[in-house]
Chains A and B, each alone.
Chain A
Amino acid sequence: EPEVTQTPSHQVTQMGQEVILRCVPISNHLYFYWYRQILGQKVEFLVSFYNNEISEKSEIFDDQFSVERPDGSNFTLKIRSTKLEDSAMYFCASSVSDRGNYGYTFGSGTRLTVV
């Protein structure tokens, strides 16, 4: 079964440092997403991406965050200057369509710990 691949599985970084989280969506999918889940809390939407541009972003996705699809296969989330409260599990997801009942496939996540 095709899967969404995320790397690294766990990243520890110092406050103020930049991090890049990487994702390889399923190859024929056209819609890409980043979500995060702080420990013990619900899964929260960060950003959706289609046709090389952001479709929608949440209030969490401020100027410190950016996304890119640099080469047609990778989909990255960059956090410019990490804060302690950015510690969370970050999930990438992709979908073949944005309509109907097509579900998203999630990657196994990157656990980001900011110290």
Chain B
Amino acid sequence: RKEVEQDPGPFNVPEGATVAFNCTYSNSASQSFFWYRQDCRKEPKLLMSVYSSGNEDGRFTAQLNRASQYISLLIRDSKLSDSATYLCVVKGTYKYIFGTGTRLKVLA
């Protein structure tokens, strides 16, 4: 089983749609979880940390299910500018472990 697994997509959605991404991780001892956004040929940028109780930042909602070892990201009212690759990140002892990313394309 891969350490961090994501559906690579692409997810093509119309503007205004709601879209959800899931990610699973293999190490049950993992403590910290994040969603990063990466635009083409750019660096990853922190979108949000993921807390056990779930957390929201504007149109973005992240959830963590420790029992099932998965993390989700929900984007509401998608904008053209949300088009990017969304990286699920699980923190090990001294490092991040990245998923392959899920590509999102928001269509006008």
> Which residues of A have CB within 8 Å of B94?
48, 50, 55-56, 98
Select one of B41, B93, B96 contacting A104, CB under 8 A: B96
Q: For chain A, residues 50 to 96, give those with C-beta under 8 angstroms from any C-beta of chain B.
A: 50, 55-56, 58, 89, 91
On whether A43 and B87 interact (CB within 8 A), knowing A89-B41, A100-B32, A101-B32, the answer reads yes
| A56 and B95 form a contact (CB under 8 A) | yes
| B44 and A48 form a contact (CB under 8 A) | no
| A108 and B43 form a contact (CB under 8 A) | yes
> Which residues of A have CB within 8 Å of B20?
none
Residue of A nearest to B41 (CB): A89
- Chain A interface, >50% SS class: strand
| B44 and A91 form a contact (CB under 8 A) | yes
> Which residues of B have CB within 8 Å of A42?
98-101
| B95 and A33 form a contact (CB under 8 A) | yes
Question: From residue A84, how far is it (CB to closest CB) to chain B in Å?
Answer: 20
Q: How large is the interface on A (under 10, 10 to 19, 20 to 34, 35 or more residues)?
A: 20 to 34
B66 contacts the other chain (Cβ, under 8 Å)? no
**Bound Cα distance from A48 to B93, whole angstroms:** 10
| A109 and B34 form a contact (CB under 8 A) | no
Residue of B nearest to A98 (CB): B94
B11 contacts the other chain (Cβ, under 8 Å)? no
Instruction: Mark interface residues in B39-67 (1 if CB within 8 Å of A CB, else 0).
Output: 00111111001010000000000000000
> Which residues of A have CB within 8 Å of B51?
101
User: Can you list 26 pairs linking A and B with CB atoms under 8 Å apart?
Assistant: A35-B96, A35-B98, A42-B98, A42-B99, A42-B101, A43-B38, A43-B96, A45-B96, A48-B95, A55-B94, A56-B93, A56-B95, A58-B95, A91-B43, A100-B32, A101-B32, A101-B34, A101-B49, A103-B34, A104-B46, A104-B96, A106-B45, A108-B42, A108-B43, A109-B43, A111-B41
Which A residues are within 8 Å of any B CB, using their own CB?
A: 33, 35, 41-45, 48, 50, 55-56, 58, 89, 91, 98, 100-101, 103-109, 111
